[in-house]
Chain A
Amino acid sequence: MDWAEHLVIVPILLPLITGAALLLIDERRHALKAAINVISTIALALVAIALLDFANTPTATNGPATKVYLLANWPAPFGIVLVLDRLAALMLVLTSMLAIAAIVYSLARWHRSGPHFHTLFQLLLMGVNGAFLTGDLFNLFVFFEVMLASSYGLMLHGSGQARVKAGLHYIVVNLAASSLFLIGVAMIYGVTGTLNMADLALRIPGVPASDRMLLDAGAGILGIAFLVKAGMWPLGFWLPTAYNAAAAPVAAIFAILSKVGVYVLLRLSPLLFGVEAGASSGFGDSWLLVGGMVTIAFGAIGVMASQAKGRLAGYYILVSSGTMLAAIGIANVSATAGALYYMVSSTLAISAFFLLIELIDRVQDPSAGVLAITLDAYGEDLEEEEAEEEIGVAIPSTLAILGISFAACGLLLAGLPPLSGFVGKFAILTALLNPDGLTEGGSLSPAIWTFVALLVISGLAAMISLTRAGIQAFWAPIEGIVPRVLLMEIAPIAFLLSLCVGLTIFGGPVMRYMDQTAQSLHAPHSYIRDVMSAPRVEAPAPEATAPEAPATKTPEVAP
């Protein structure tokens, strides 16, 4: 068995090992910890790109390439499996790109404003990657909890009263949602007797009518848990406050967290309740469509109403989530493909915007407030003061660069040409106005028209609010305070925005990838087949000991 076989588990193991190793290093050795973290994150990105390349390579049978990794060599329905397909690989790459930007940005100052930042950051990556890779519902819960537990720590990073207050609400909401998650998983297990997603998809058509209601109730409760994470109205009220309170690099990596909820719905909705699910086919689709559209409207109103830029970005996340949820609810291949493109583009843009906000706010308030809080909480350290002086020089024409980045973020979030936000929205609109089978003489339902209108209006709301915020930031200070911005802080923003530019330039190949992803999501035969028929690895040499142990083990317990 060659090393490439084990590449699938690396996105989980690498952050776990790095995070654990960083615990052993003394907290005062900032540089060493930071270096290890950056190297590990970049290695993770390389692995993710290699996996993406693997998932995109057509196999001999010309089907979608699905890589199944049997943990502890248990055959599929009994043990936990990791499944890598196009969607999972895409999300891994997106996560690692955000992680690189956030970690480099935090090196300028944030990583020293609280203990164990690097460990928590790596564990968060482990939880997110695990949630993307796992093919087992309960294992998904475990990775969700790993992700949430470290996000609680990161949320409070830097301390301060506002952060603790918002963090308290954030933790309570997510703990309650975790309970719902467990209830949903338990009900589904009680009805079907399995937790493996592919096995579930096989068993759902055969569920007797008397149990059908229990199954739907379980799926609904499970869905509520994911919708809380994705921030669907009215479950997303906590999101703008919490993200606004978090430190800038933390908020930037949190941009992926709401997409984890969206990802799970994107994975499970077509797999479990697709066209072949019998009586439950299409369960929840209309709820997702309506809920997504209300979320877009709510987000757009919030965008117009917000004064603080952090809250503004929080409401963009709601708009982005709402668009994704409504597109999942339509359950159409080309709408899903457009939504996937939109998701990548909007996540990158929101992440860049969170980083940019802190730099822009220095124009008005040169970072005195934040520094005062952190120094107050953790005491002054002479060594740190000296290190602070050594980091680079302020780059020239700061305001111009900030302004250009701000304008680029604005174009991306509002979905205007020439950047990738436009391509994403255009792809969704094309799919909506020209759905399969309605090309000639067909009429569109009122729901679709509402969705189209909301998409356009939310773009307008984004444009208005960003113009207003931009005028306040760049035209208001007549005395002209040029903020002190380090190259290390502007580079991650430029990196994220250039990825968006790259998405635009390579729009054709990227869109083809998204199309194939959407197709395999909506026709999950090969996913199910690959998972259920994944071969076990034979032992290299027969041992003399009796292999009778399995019966006493519990295969579903997460490691």
Chain B
Amino acid sequence: MELVLAIGIGVLIGSGVWLLFRPRTYQLIIGLSLIAYGVNLFIFSMGRLKVAAPPVLSSAGAVNPADYADPIPQALVLTAIVIGFATTALFLVVLLVSRGLTGSDHVDGREPS
């Protein structure tokens, strides 16, 4: 499971970084989204991987922490998703404005000659 997750994160972030170096704004925003997904998975994995372990304690009384997943990375991912979503939306608006003002979706606002 660890290997699959690590390869998944690596592919997501690697593709994202490659897209960041592309000259079109559309590729930039896809690249940033892929990086954000990879980072979110990475945060998630930092709470150690566990199968079928709830993050929320079910009852009062004596509990064994080993039976439960770490809730904090899940809370962090939740916040990071919301913030990443908001900033991506904001970037999308700027991208459209840039496209409207310059008539080109090149990151420098003009087509390479």
Interface residues of A (CB under 8 A from B): 138, 141-142, 145, 148-149, 152-153, 156, 159, 161, 164-165, 167-169, 171-172, 175-176, 178-179, 182-183, 185-187, 189-190, 195, 548, 551-552, 554-558
Contacts and interface: CB of A to CB of B under 8 A. Distances in A.
B94 A175 contact: no
B30 interface: no
A548 B58 CA distance: 12
A554 B72 contact: yes
Contacts of B42: 182-183, 186
Contacts of B75: 554, 556-557
A430 to B, nearest CB: 44
A357 to B, nearest CB: 24
| Size class of the contact patch on chain B | 35 or more
B101 interface: yes
B63 to A, nearest CB: 9
Contacts, number: 102
Interface residues of chain A: helix, strand, loop or mixed (majority):
helix
A145 B89 CA distance: 14
A555 B76 CA distance: 10
Given A186-B73, A189-B73, A168 B39 contact: no
A189 B72 contact: yes
B86 interface: yes
Contacts of A161: 101-102, 109
Given A175-B88, A178-B87, A190-B46, 6 more contacts: A138-B79, A171-B87, A171-B94, A182-B42, A551-B57, A556-B75
A90 B20 CA distance: 38
B108 A165 contact: yes
B43 A186 contact: yes
Contact of A552 (B20, B57, B73, B86): B57
Contacts of A556: 72, 75-76
A165 B109 contact: yes
Nearest to A138: B76
A542 to B, nearest CB: 19
Contacts of B91: 171-172, 175
B95 A168 contact: yes
B90 interface: yes
CB-CB nearest 4 A-B residue pairs: A190-B46, A554-B75, A186-B43, A186-B46
A497 to B, nearest CB: 35
B90 A164 contact: no
Contacts of B101: 161, 164
Interface of B: 20, 25, 28, 32, 35-36, 39, 42-43, 46-47, 56-57, 60, 71-76, 78-80, 83, 86-88, 90-91, 94-95, 97-98, 101-102, 107-109
B94 A165 contact: no
B76 A172 contact: no
B71 A554 contact: yes
Kindly name the residue among A148, A179, A189, A555 whose own CB sees the greatest number of chain B CB atoms within 10 A. Answer: A179
B86 to A, nearest CB: 7
A195 B56 CA distance: 20
A164 B94 contact: yes
Given A172-B32, A176-B20, A164 B87 contact: no
16 contacts: A149-B90, A152-B90, A153-B90, A161-B101, A164-B97, A164-B98, A165-B102, A165-B109, A171-B91, A172-B91, A178-B87, A182-B43, A552-B56, A552-B57, A555-B72, A557-B75
A557 B78 contact: yes
A554 to B, nearest CB: 4
A393 B78 CA distance: 54
A242 to B, nearest CB: 13
A152 B89 CA distance: 12
Contacts of A172: 20, 28, 32, 91, 107
Given A164-B97, A186-B76, A189-B73, A142 B57 contact: no
B98 to A, nearest CB: 5
A145 B86 CA distance: 10
A551 B57 CA distance: 7
Nearest to B109: A165
Nearest to B98: A164
User: Most B CB atoms within 10 A — which of A145, A153, A168, A555?
Assistant: A168
A275 B71 CA distance: 33
Contacts of B76: 138, 185-186, 189, 556-557
